[in-house]
Amino acid sequence: MTKMMHNSLHSLAKVRAALNDVKYDGSELSGSLTVDAALMDDLKALSAISVMEDMLIVSGAAMTLNKLVFDTGQQYKTTLKLYTRNLQEGLYYELIDDFVAANPYAEPDSPFYIAQLDFFSDNAIVPAEVQSYRDVIGLIGFLSDIADYVKEEIGQRNTLIFFEKSKLSLMLNYGKDNLRQITYLTKLREQLYDAHDFNERRTILKSELIGYLKDVAPVDAFNKLLAGLDEVYDHYLKSHLLYLEKFSYHDLKSEVDQDQLEYTKKIYATVNDIQAKLIAIPAAFILIFSQFDFTGTLFLKNVLMVVGAVLFALLIEILLRNQFGVLSYIEREIEQLKNELKNKDTQIDLTTFIGSFGDLEPVIARQRNYLMLFRCITWLVPLVTLVLLYIFSK
């Protein structure tokens, strides 16, 4: 019986290829057809299982299939309706989109045909779209196996729940445009099922999944995962190597990120911590212009103003030197941390972590330029005072 249904699926595919002006609504396939002797066996096979009517309208008259005569190579033009759901065991899909939407979690057990790809399920050559679908289904399969809980509700796609330090809800929403081939799927499956440390590998993979998708809405998480699966797999491999060395790639990344944040705060603090004191610089200019004797008669007072301006500049200079020293110390700390990462005894390539500290260099340079600007403005105070003394002492 199954073989007959499978043959009827081939008959349907052959008739579908001959149809013109095709329309399909998910259950009814229709179009115009030129019937010749080559199609008769297929039409009769489809009629026998009620996929189509035995009666055709030819030139305005109703004729059964048995009444059609092809002795002189005659052809008959007609319109045809095919009821694809009557295939019973064989499954017909017009588009790959229809196939994916109807079978989001597992490939159907029954033979099937996808007209858009002219693909039968038993074909030896598999189109890229179908291979991508099978890879995604395989991914769903072992993610379901390692999930802590699989949620199923009527009218709602499956949701996988993972618990590892935090919770991840992964709704299995995807479409044809999200399909992708996963070249390392077989290798990953072997690692998660057959490796001697498969439990540890599963824990590591769950941690990487949660870390990668923690800020993504559950409804978008699976599409995000499909797009970034290569990155997740790479982190998983690195984390497993680091696990063998007794520390985690994800934890190391978090530690490096935290170090970067702390150093960024320290760098900005070199200017932020002295902002209140730097307000004294414009105050010094105001004091000079308000107290300086521009008549030149109080020469001694003006000299004292110059001395005061120099002392003021020296005090600010000491303050600025301390901040320059702090910047230099931070640079040495960062360099020491980079060297520790370079010299870490690990098989993992830590170049990315080491290079990430390079982002702090322009921040340090910018803060140093600010301090230099403050230094120049500070020494303008005694310089302006000396110029005024020289001008108004004559």
Structural domain boundaries, residue 260 = 250-392
Angle (CA) 175-178-180 rounded to 5° is 125
- HEC profile for 73-140? CCCEEEEEEEEHHHHCCCEEECCHHHHHHHCCCCCCCCCEEEHHHCEECCCCCCCHHHHHHHHHHHHH
Same domain, 113 and 140: no
What pLDDT, on the 0 to 100 scale, is given for residue 63?
A: 85
Same domain, 220 and 255: no
Task: For the chain of 394 residues, list the mean pLDDT of each consecutive stretch of 10.
Answer: 62 93 92 90 91 87 84 83 89 94 90 95 94 94 90 72 87 90 93 87 91 90 94 90 68 77 80 67 67 64 73 79 84 82 66 76 84 81 74 64
What pLDDT, on the 0 to 100 scale, is given for residue 5?
A: 44
Same domain, 260 and 380: yes
Domain assignment present for 57: yes
What pLDDT, on the 0 to 100 scale, is given for residue 4?
A: 43
What pLDDT, on the 0 to 100 scale, is given for residue 36?
A: 87
* Residue type for position 60: G
Same domain, 149 and 115: no
What pLDDT, on the 0 to 100 scale, is given for residue 293?
A: 60
Same domain, 275 and 379: yes
What pLDDT, on the 0 to 100 scale, is given for residue 245?
A: 64
Same domain, 274 and 373: yes
Flag whether the pTM goes above 0.75. no
